[in-house]
Amino acid sequence: MFKSLDNKLKKSLMALGLGAAIAASGLANAGQFNIGTTATPEEIAGWDIDIRPDGMGLPEGQGTVEAGEEQYEALCATCHGLFGEGEGRWPVLAGGQDTLTEERPTKTVGSYWPYASTLYDYIRRAMPFTAPRSLSDQQVYDITAYVLYLNEIVDEDFVLTKDNLATIEMPNQDNFFVDPRPDVKNTRCMKNCADPKKLQIAGTLRGITPVGHFVEGADAPAASHDAQMEQEHNKEKVRKASLKGEEVTSSNGGGASALSESATAGQSTYDGACKVCHGSGLTGSPKIGDIDAWAGRIKQGMPVLVEHAIKGFTGDTGVMPPKGGRVDLSDKQVEDAVAYMVESSR
């Protein structure tokens, strides 16, 4: 068994010292412990979501660029941008062709990804970010077709099917090769290993890493991602206010002890569904704890806010998708989460 390994890979695995294990493994003689239950085809089918470049795993169905555009704009554009250009630090999906040798390459589906199957697989397993495994196979076909279209890999009238996905040629597909390391060979020199006069010493770019914990003393609040963002946010607020000559109080609502029952219940929904946008103020969403950003909204009253959150809303600063894309949430859960954000932001 295991005789027909790809030669290149075999060579690299042998280099890792793994060759010996291949022989005499006796793997086919199953079940010496007889532990575990035989998995039924139905149990496997529900979890067997993976797609391979040869099309293995693709479900029945097809999708169009046109249908994909609508899905994409509702479910994906908040993070990835209307044209796949990426919002904030969220992944850029399109463009970047011929940049891989540049100083700052842009690695996108079109410029970098070797297989179209990866796109279907990834959308199906992990997207949209706030509601993974919520899309139908049909929606995944549609959105995959549209992202390929954004990358000019297919035309606008293209119909993506179970049968043609594996035949799509990606622009960068031939440019991956198996790891050749070790690729550099240093030697154990002990004396006169370099010319002291020729040493170039470059210092650290200052001020871009959080070092308060040892430079200024304890920085417990800055230990977390959120707290660091909060600090940055507050600094920015103070800076802006100082330009206007205003006095600033902490923007962190700090009303945690006074939360209503509904708000308390809404915290876990907030953490799992809303925080990804409202925790950072992504693409114009009101950031939790930002009193200024919420004041005008709170004035509209809870019924309006809850309705916008459930049905979706397009405002001056951004788009709120229905239930933030989490259509699995009940109206009550959304209402509680809104209460949590409102009470944390005044």
Q: Which of residues 5-64 bind another protein (CB under 8 A)?
A: 5, 9, 12-13, 16-19, 21-22, 25-39, 43-44, 47-54, 56
* Closest CB to another protein among residues 148, 305: 148
Cβ(345)–Cβ(288) under 8 Å?
Answer: yes
Q: Which of 211, 256, 258, 295 is the binder for another protein (CB under 8 A)?
A: 211
- What distance in Å separates the CA atoms of residue 70 and residue 321, rounded to the nearest whole number? 13
Q: Which among 194, 129, 169, 158 is positioned nearest to 63, based on CA atoms?
A: 158
* Closest CB to another protein among residues 185, 299: 185
Q: Which of 70, 152, 179, 246 is the binder for another protein (CB under 8 A)?
A: 179
Q: Which of 83, 156, 218, 239 is the binder for another protein (CB under 8 A)?
A: 218
Cβ atoms within 10 A of the Cβ of 47, count?
Answer: 8
* Closest CB to another protein among residues 12, 62: 12
- The per-residue b/e assignment along 260-290, b for 16 or more CB within 10 angstroms, e otherwise, is eebbebbbebbeebbbbbbbbbbbbbbbbbb
- What distance in Å separates the CA atoms of residue 127 and residue 88, rounded to the nearest whole number? 18
Q: Which of 194, 243, 247, 249 is the binder for another protein (CB under 8 A)?
A: 194
* Closest CB to another protein among residues 182, 303: 182
- What distance in Å separates the CA atoms of residue 221 and residue 271, rounded to the nearest whole number? 19
DSSP-derived pairing of the beta strands 159-161 and 313-314: unpaired
168 touching another protein, by CB under 8 A:
no
Q: Kindly state the number of chain residues that form the binding site for another protein, as judged by CB under 8 A.
A: 118
- What distance in Å separates the CA atoms of residue 177 and residue 273, rounded to the nearest whole number? 39
**Residues 113-132, mask of contacts with another protein (x by CB under 8 A):** xxx-xx--xx--xx--x--x
- What distance in Å separates the CA atoms of residue 173 and residue 276, rounded to the nearest whole number? 33
> Tokens 């806010």 appear where?
305
Q: Which of 70, 156, 213, 314 is the binder for another protein (CB under 8 A)?
A: 213
Residues 284 to 323 in contact with another protein, rule: CB under 8 A: none
Q: Is 152 left (phi over 0), alpha (psi -120 to 50) or beta?
A: left
221 touching another protein, by CB under 8 A:
no
CB of 12 to another protein, least distance (A): 8
From 1-9, 247-255, 304-312, 333-341, give the range in contact with another protein by CB under 8 A: 1-9
265 touching another protein, by CB under 8 A:
no
* Closest CB to another protein among residues 19, 255: 19
